[in-house]
Structure 1
Amino acid sequence: MDESDVLKDLRSLILTKAGIRNITPADCKTISIEISKTLNKNVSETTIKRLFGFAMVRHNFSRFTLTTLSEYVNDQSLLTTINHSDNQDEGYDLHWKDVEQRTRRISDFTIKSIKNRSGIPYDMTVSRKFSEHDFDDFYKSDYSFMAFISQPGYGKTIILAHLAEKILASKALAAQGTTLVFITAYNLINKSNTQASFESQLKSMLGINTSGSLVSYINKTYKSTEGKLLIFLDGFAEVILKREARNQMFDGIIDFLCSIEDSNSVKLVMNMRSTTWSHFYEKIRNSTYLKKKWFQGNYFNLNDCSNVPSLNEKEVDLIMKRIDQLGPKIINPRLKSQLKFPFHIQLYYQLKEEDPSFNYSSNITFYELISRFIQDKIYKSNYYTEKILFLKKVIQLTDFGKKHHSVSKDDLIAELSGFKNAYSDLLSDGILMEERFVDSYHPKEYVRFIHSH
């Protein structure tokens, strides 16, 4: 891929990320500001104007500019092309050692991106013991794929990042020849050739040029060892609202999983929100083979559609110690219980940054976090007026929670047609959830708040 192709892809991906169809010179300043907020790196408004043809290009774009823009759109393959443009083409059939080097660069880039985007400094986060146990069980099993599933805000991406770091540092796995590639769904979906299959795009990223099956290629590579190719796939939240792209991605993943068959050399680990998993599971629920190859995890809860538990006491204590060296007894018990939900830790950290002297032992902080949660998820989001009106309807139907906590979806049908986008966001962002119960042999759907407060 030459620089003109790189620039073409960057322009397309930046517009997609920014939600801009027809860019104007005024949008370049907004994009520059967003890059600075996201990465703490500066790409000037003028440089953005040059990229989109609003200013004269007197010289080639610097490697820093191209690298920063690639990081902004979170595209590992573009970064690989930029940093190794003098290497052989991606279509060249590399030796496995070269493939391993590529996977390492891609995985390191993904982990670095996650660290830069973490809601609190990454070194204050913790590795989740449950995820390590689940992954160990999965790795040693005959299952082909697993997914960390939960409502938004449970730290699934951070979980994968810690797991990836542990795998990359494992001497035992390295001795087996096990290889990890950590990629995002966003990178695989936003390409000029959107019709390419999941497997084809994966082979292209790894530099494997074979017309045959990737699984067969991996089986041959690991024939004499117990090594495996581990594929970590994150970032579904960025494509979930694009229905056509989502379905295309799911179909590609399913085709790839079916090609694995009885091979134990390829394993896929994904991150999905509960609503995303429901869509994915709908596509595989009639396949006995795929359900047999799915490792549910040791904490799977069918009612909540989740297998990621909240933080335990020790994990909360460790994070709090890293944030501000407070002992566990100083923090208000109600607040501490609230911090078992990882997104609230991000809000707590923001509050502490603004006012380091606030009172940790009172209930005020508890209510402050609730207020910030509502501000972030409702008032600062798209369709906030529609969301408020819809939520008021739900609250009225529950008589402010006095009658019951859930509402029959039948009672909301009239509102759903007018608030379709707002309702989808409320489900996707983890404000509301749908439940299904069987009543007189007929399934009936209900809607309720995920968090009772």
Structure 2
Amino acid sequence: MIDLSYDFIITLQKEVLRKFGSEVILPADCKHLSQSILDATTKLVSETTLKRVFGFAVAQHSFSRYTLNTLSQYCCYKDWEDFQHQHIQQVHGAPIAESTKWATLKAKADAVSHYTLLTLKNRSGVPFQQTAARQYCFAHVERFLESDYTATALIAPSGWGKSIALVHVAEHFWFGRDARYKQDICWFIHAHAAGSLLLKGFSLSTWLDNQLNLGAGENLREYFSEHFKDKGGRLLLIIDGFDEISVAGDKLRVLYSKLEDFVYSNDCYPWVKVILSIRSSTWSDIFQHSQQYPAFRRYWYLGQEMEEETSINLPPLTEQEVKTVLYNYQFDPATVRTFSEQFLQRLRHPYYLQIFCQLNVDAEKNFVDENLSLFEIISKFVQQRLFNSPSNNFKIRIIDKMLSLLDMGRHGLYTDKSLLLNQHLDLFPAYKELLADNILVEENLSQEVMFNVKVRFAHNFLLEYFTAMKYLQDNNQQITEALVIEVLQHFPHSTFRVEVFKWLLRFAINQQQIQSIQYIFQVPLMPVEKSLLLEYLALHYQHESKGHHELKAIFPTGYFKKHPISDYISEDIFQFRKRKVLNALLTLVESPEDKLRIRFILFITSLVQLDAEQCELELSQLKKICNQEITLEHLWINPYEIALFIYEYMKFGISDETVLTKIYQFPYYWEDLQRPMTCSQEIVYRCLSTVFLILGDNETQQQFGQQLFQHVPHLLLKKTDPFRLSVICRLAEAYLNMGDVLKAERLSRHVGLVLKQYQSQYFIGRYTEVLQKVIQASIFFHKKEYNKAVRLAEHAMECLHKLDFKILSLLNYQLLSKLYKQLQMEKQYKEIQQQIELVRKSTSFKQDHIKLLNY
């Protein structure tokens, strides 16, 4: 252990570095320093020992007298005693007076604490200066310090960022330049040091008493209670890593009992406080049993976020804290804004955020797309925590049993702990490691009359990963057509099934199994599933810079003639993240209609983003296809013409009268379509509704919507068709603008119910969902139900902040502006006006003609 009386470790470090001729040291420099010490003293101090001295590794034992003497001799002192003696004279120059005992104790504590802080900073997975301070921890500790509680703890699984959180807390309250409580004594140590002391027979009380050499029988706490004028503040003991990894499990209860004695003995000394960081699995086993005693809760402050079932009181990072780390890591803010809500939720767990940052050492040049990163993060996490573990065989046995009990997820997410272990005592140590590593989580639902502990995977994506790996294991690492069909039949259509297929697809890509990839795409998956799989495939090969060649091998000439492109891209036409996928598809498709469909989606995507310049580029490509490649005899208006009309009206405020006349002739050209619409027809009908919208012609909008369902009857039967839902949203808006709030609300609620009932159909697209919220909020506004309108519009705004639907954001801002003005919320009103101005400045479209474009 580190002897806690070593007041001059930091001073020794500085002296060694001065002699070495460097102001700072990196882990790689320890090898050269070792050689320099050998040359100067003829004594060897190993590279590993030097890493412990400078805090790059945890020092689990005392620094030997040999090490300290050698380093002192390197700095031209006789030995370690001479080094300390010289510096004591330099610092004090005279015996310590009684009135300076608090300062003396503080100097000792600061020396040890600075060493611990340095060690934890050097061990941070993300460079410490790039980490984010967690406001929850500051608030938690602040409430604890101001309370009468004696002890508190940050309780969470491994990799949750507890140690770094404690470093930020220590600097914020006691060691930073603007620390709040500089007069307090903060003794920040690692559990290795405290554990070694306690196991040698010391108590924490005895150890504290020894720090000032008060003499036999004298007590530090009693001394400062009697000489309260000499006491400068509180005395904090922070112990990091009080868990089974730091201290052997059979000795942990001994340490806990001594810690408990110290905590309870401070009842009369509220200025002495203890802060721990501890893993939730250890808390459940060692600490939680004490909660049945009233004294435990009287002394221990567990905080407002304590989850009794999982024994966690430290929440994950907030989304803003995640973004702070990414910005500190030199990620482009524009890139971070494109991250999906789901991906940011994953990064809220510090360990996954750490791996993501490590995958992007040069974030500006080598950014790994989030769709690829998530799989790399999980793979690396499992590799480090499971496969590299000495007990990996036992862990894999437990996970196999877990998958069997859950039937690969078909029987839910939880299983009984008793069934999982089933009296196999040999599995228990590996099981405890799985809990400590946050691969498995226990939820204690026990009651007084019944023992009930459930176990689940820490995250659903771990269940998806292990399910896919289990299928591969059972099929000799080969993805056959039979395996793909088995997965398809075993799971219902859901996000879970898609993620399992993604893991299989990733394996096939890495193993270069082209036939296996083709098997995956040939089974009858839902279009939305094929879209997601194709997106992953295209992004992977684009990242590897060999996209076209590899994709051509998977989708040879003629493939998309047999398999319509609409099966891959029909569900989520506004998703700007699909742009890479669509561009990749353009190199593969052969049919003019497929090219037209993709180009129109790219045009609409740019329009929704208010990107006028990109709209121009897409229009030029649409013109080529319509003029040269596609037959349009069955249509009275060209898809390019009507798309150009929308663009020119929004950009310049002008309208082509010839095209406008054609647009209003639509009642004379209806066809009774008993079969699905062609791509050209769907584009024209989509654009017609948009034209009436931006022209503000609500009567024609209503007429068009009603006639569309009469002439295209199959739309009535396809409840979840995005085109159908968008037409209904337009009708709702038309009725609202004409003052028929009841009809508008009926249609809006219908769309909301469909989205809720069939939400699995929309797990890659959010546009229709957010659009319905905005329209429903507008309906509440017209009904003067302002509070409901504000809540719904603000919820929609939270979603829009994570997306790039500027046209819809602008509409929602305008609605919120009216609401805030009506409710006299001046601060919010001013903020909204600023946001509206920012959106308007970001586009060259004509401001008066930016309307709601709900495709």
Could you say which TM-score interval applies, normalised by the shorter chain?
Answer: 0.7 to 0.9
Q: Which residue of 1 aligns with 2:128?
A: 122
Matched, 1:252 2:237: no
Shift of 1:375: 0.9
Alignment partner of 1:85 out of 81, 87, 93: 81
Amino acid at match of 1:334: Q
Do 1:230 and 1:269's aligned partners in 2 also have CA atoms closer than 8 Å? Answer: yes
Alpha-carbon distance in structure 2 between the residues aligned to 1:438 and 1:382: 32
Q: Which residue of 2 aligns with 1:266?
A: 272
Alpha-carbon distance in structure 2 between the residues aligned to 1:442 and 1:59: 67
Residue aligned with 1:42, SS: helix
| TM-score under structure 1 length normalisation | 0.79
Matched, 1:148 2:154: yes
Do 1:230 and 1:267's aligned partners in 2 also have CA atoms closer than 8 Å? Answer: yes
Do 2:34 and 2:44's aligned partners in 1 also have CA atoms closer than 8 Å? Answer: no
Matched, 1:42 2:30: yes
Write the deviation string for residues 92-146 of structure 1: whole angstroms up to 9, x where unpaired. 9983222111111111111000111000100000111111111111111111110
Do 1:303 and 1:435's aligned partners in 2 also have CA atoms closer than 8 Å? Answer: yes
Do 2:130 and 2:325's aligned partners in 1 also have CA atoms closer than 8 Å? Answer: yes
Deviates more, 1:402-411 or 1:346-355: 346-355
Change (3 A) 1:152 1:207: farther
Number of positions where the alignment pairs a residue of Structure 1 with one of Structure 2: 408
Residue aligned with 1:353, SS: coil
Q: Which residue of 2 aligns with 1:428?
A: 436
Change (3 A) 1:60 1:450: same
Alignment partner of 1:343 out of 346, 351, 354: 351
Shift of 1:232: 0.9
Q: Counterparts in 2 of 1:35-434, with a 5 A limit?
A: 39-43=27-31, 59=42, 68-70=51-53, 71=55, 72-74=57-59, 78=63, 82=68, 85-86=81-82, 87=84, 95-166=101-172, 167-169=174-176, 170=178, 172-174=180-182, 177-190=183-196, 194-204=200-210, 211-220=217-226, 222-223=228-229, 227-237=233-243, 239=245, 242-282=248-288, 284-327=290-333, 328-353=336-361, 357-414=365-422, 416-434=424-442
Taking every aligned residue pair, what percent have the same amino acid on both sides? 24
Shift of 1:350: 1.6
Shift of 1:199: 2.7
Change (3 A) 1:221 1:187: farther
Asked which structure has the greater RCO (Cα within 8 Å, sep 6+), the reply is 1
Do 1:332 and 1:360's aligned partners in 2 also have CA atoms closer than 8 Å? Answer: no
Alpha-carbon distance in structure 2 between the residues aligned to 1:420 and 1:243: 12
Do 2:236 and 2:272's aligned partners in 1 also have CA atoms closer than 8 Å? Answer: yes
Write the deviation string for residues 151-197 of structure 1: whole angstroms up to 9, x where unpaired. 111101001001111122346523xx311110111112235962222
Do 2:152 and 2:301's aligned partners in 1 also have CA atoms closer than 8 Å? Answer: yes
| TM-score under structure 2 length normalisation | 0.44
Change (3 A) 1:221 1:251: farther
Do 2:153 and 2:278's aligned partners in 1 also have CA atoms closer than 8 Å? Answer: yes
Alpha-carbon distance in structure 1 between the residues aligned to 2:43 and 2:240: 33
List alignment gaps of at least 5 residues for structure 1: 7-37, 51-57
Do 2:244 and 2:282's aligned partners in 1 also have CA atoms closer than 8 Å? Answer: no
Deviates more, 1:356-365 or 1:390-399: 356-365
Shift of 1:239: 4.5
Q: Which residue of 2 aligns with 1:21?
A: none
Deviates more, 1:58-67 or 1:312-321: 58-67
Amino acid at match of 1:168: F
Residue aligned with 2:329, SS: helix
Residue aligned with 2:326, SS: helix
Do 1:188 and 1:201's aligned partners in 2 also have CA atoms closer than 8 Å? Answer: no
Change (3 A) 1:185 1:208: farther
Change (3 A) 1:362 1:269: closer
Do 1:239 and 1:246's aligned partners in 2 also have CA atoms closer than 8 Å? Answer: no
Larger Rg: 2
Deviates more, 1:296-305 or 1:76-85: 76-85
Do 1:179 and 1:230's aligned partners in 2 also have CA atoms closer than 8 Å? Answer: yes
Do 1:218 and 1:266's aligned partners in 2 also have CA atoms closer than 8 Å? Answer: no
Write the deviation string for residues 41-84 of structure 1: whole angstroms up to 9, x where unpaired. 4258999xx9xxxxxxx855679997644444436975999587
Change (3 A) 1:138 1:193: closer
Shift of 1:311: 1.0
Shift of 1:334: 2.8
Alpha-carbon distance in structure 2 between the residues aligned to 1:432 and 1:363: 24
Change (3 A) 1:153 1:46: closer
Do 2:184 and 2:234's aligned partners in 1 also have CA atoms closer than 8 Å? Answer: yes
Do 2:331 and 2:364's aligned partners in 1 also have CA atoms closer than 8 Å? Answer: no
Amino acid at match of 2:442: E
Shift of 1:366: 1.2
Change (3 A) 1:380 1:285: same
Change (3 A) 1:451 1:196: same
Do 1:39 and 1:117's aligned partners in 2 also have CA atoms closer than 8 Å? Answer: no
Alpha-carbon distance in structure 2 between the residues aligned to 1:239 and 1:179: 28
Residue aligned with 2:317, SS: coil
Alpha-carbon distance in structure 2 between the residues aligned to 1:242 and 1:141: 33
Write the deviation string for residues 341-373 of structure 1: whole angstroms up to 9, x where unpaired. 000111112211288645544411111111111
Amino acid at match of 1:347: I
Alpha-carbon distance in structure 2 between the residues aligned to 1:139 and 1:278: 25
Alpha-carbon distance in structure 1 between the residues aligned to 2:29 and 2:251: 30
Matched, 1:445 2:430: no
Q: Which residue of 2 aligns with 1:31?
A: none
Residue aligned with 2:30, SS: coil
Deviates more, 1:98-107 or 1:410-419: 410-419
Amino acid at match of 1:149: I
Alpha-carbon distance in structure 2 between the residues aligned to 1:233 and 1:370: 30
| Coordinate RMSD, CA, aligned | 3.7
Shift of 1:330: 2.8
Higher percent of residues as helix: 2
Amino acid at match of 1:364: L
Alpha-carbon distance in structure 2 between the residues aligned to 1:238 and 1:418: 18
Alpha-carbon distance in structure 1 between the residues aligned to 2:158 and 2:457: 13
Change (3 A) 1:137 1:73: closer
Amino acid at match of 1:345: L
Alpha-carbon distance in structure 2 between the residues aligned to 1:264 and 1:322: 39
Shift of 1:440: 9.8
Shift of 1:225: 5.7
Write the deviation string for residues 305-344 of structure 1: whole angstroms up to 9, x where unpaired. 1111111121111111011232131334332221100001
Do 1:138 and 1:295's aligned partners in 2 also have CA atoms closer than 8 Å? Answer: yes
Alpha-carbon distance in structure 1 between the residues aligned to 2:146 and 2:61: 29
Change (3 A) 1:426 1:188: same
Amino acid at match of 1:42: C
Do 2:398 and 2:421's aligned partners in 1 also have CA atoms closer than 8 Å? Answer: no
Q: Which residue of 2 aligns with 1:13?
A: none
Change (3 A) 1:273 1:207: farther
